[in-house]
Structures are given as structure tokens and as C-alpha cells.
Amino acid sequence: MLGGGVLGPVAGAILAWRHRAGAAGLRALWRHLVDVRISDWRGWTGALLPAGYFAVASTVVFALTGVTFRSEVGPLGFAGLLLASCVLVIGEELGWRGTQLPLLQETGGALRSSVVVAVSWAFWHLPLVLMWGAGPDSSPLEAGLALIPYLLLTIPMAVMHTFAFNSARGLVLVSVVLHGLHNHLNAVLGPNPAEDAALARAGALSGPVLMGVFWSVAVGLWIAFRGRDLAPRGKVTASSMLESRP
């Protein structure tokens, strides 16, 4: 399942760019993944601000609701998991931000494009939602209901990713770091081992509270940059990616 989850978006990205511009399209996609010169320090700063806010706020929220860093994860494990998390999402990000988002931004606004990407992103993870949420034997109605919270989480995440991607002039590596950080925090944060019932109930609130953190960041970005369409330095489109040079 993990292999399909990674290979599906990257296969779609390769096909889309190949259809759009042939070998030049594939070179543009690769360049926007690995060439950090595409952005500059202002782009990196603007792009990673949401990541920094999310990391700090999420850690505080988890701590207040009875969730802490897993004690078995040491410093080396923490760093190793972060690197692994980033590597594992490269395929997804080549599809979502490296391809679908710039294609949508050719003709649409950043907010609408973000929502479309979020829907694709959420439905692509439906098998995981069924496995961890509704259960493999759930009815279609139960599966749909289980997908709603995930979609409500994915929409603000997509808005943050769009802001980061546009700020960094289409550098997909920024989206990889942001996506990897989110998955990394999910891996190293866990329930507090204390057996206090009140603390356990508080831990159950961490999901809704975290969703509130995501939405607060997304709404804040939209209020601050809606006049520039979530793109402080201009929207990144497929055409601009083909034309860009470091």
C-alpha cells in the first residue's frame, strides 16, 4: 500500500509533464525538486514560517492534551525519522505540488486550486482512512463519514502547502520538508503513558485541537495574503516552471 501511495502520484506527474512538454517538462520537474537555487532566503523563510508555527503550536497542543514525545525515540531516532519521513513523501509531492497545483494555478486562483488538491489528496488516502478510521469492513456510508474529518484536515494543510510552494517559487523540496515534518510529528508524538483517566480523555481531544491549529494557520495566511492570492511573489504555474531559471 505504501508503494502504491508513493508511486501513483509520481507516475501521474511523469505522465502529465511528459504530455505537457516532453523531455523539457520532465527536466523542469526534476529541477524544481532538487535545485535549491530556484528559491532564495526570502522564499525559504516565507515558505517555512507555516512549518515552524505548526511544529511549535502542535507540540504545545499535544503536550497540553496529554500527548508527548515518545520516550523510546532518542535524538538520533528523531533525526532519522524526520529524514525518512521526507524521503517517503517525495513521490506524493511531485504529484500534488510538483504537478497538480501548478497546472490548476494556470487558470484558477490559489485557494480554489488548494481545495481541489486537498480533495485529491484526501481521496488518495482513502485506503488508509478505511484501515485506521472506519475499518476494512465498513459500509460506503461509514467510509464516507470517516473521510470527512480527514478532508477537513487536508484542506488547511493544502492551503499552507500552496503558500509555501508559491513563496519558494515552485521549489518542490519545500513542500517535501513541510509534508515530512507533519508525518514526522505524527510518528514521534504519542499518548502520555500516565494512566490518569482525565489525562486520557484530554489526549482524545488532541485531534480536534490540532485541526483547529491547522485551520488557524490557513485562515491567517488567507487573510494576510488573499490580495496576492496566497502568492507573495506571484503564483507558480506549469508555464512558469518551464520558463524558470535559477
**Which triple of cell numbers denotes residue 216?**
488557524
In degrees rounded to 5, what are phi and psi of residue 108?
-125, 165
pLDDT at 195 over 50: no
pLDDT 10s digits, 211-231: 888 888 889 888 888 777 888
Given a contact cutoff of 8 angstroms between Cβ atoms, the answer to whether 169 and 236 are in contact is: yes
Residues in the chain: 246
- State the Cα–Cα distance between residues 122 and 127, nearest whole angstrom: 10
pLDDT 10s digits, 87-114: 999 999 999 999 999 999 999 999 999 9
Given a contact cutoff of 8 angstroms between Cβ atoms, the answer to whether 97 and 232 are in contact is: no
Name the pTM for this structure: 0.86
Compute CA distances 23 → 14, 18, 127, whole Å. 10, 6, 33
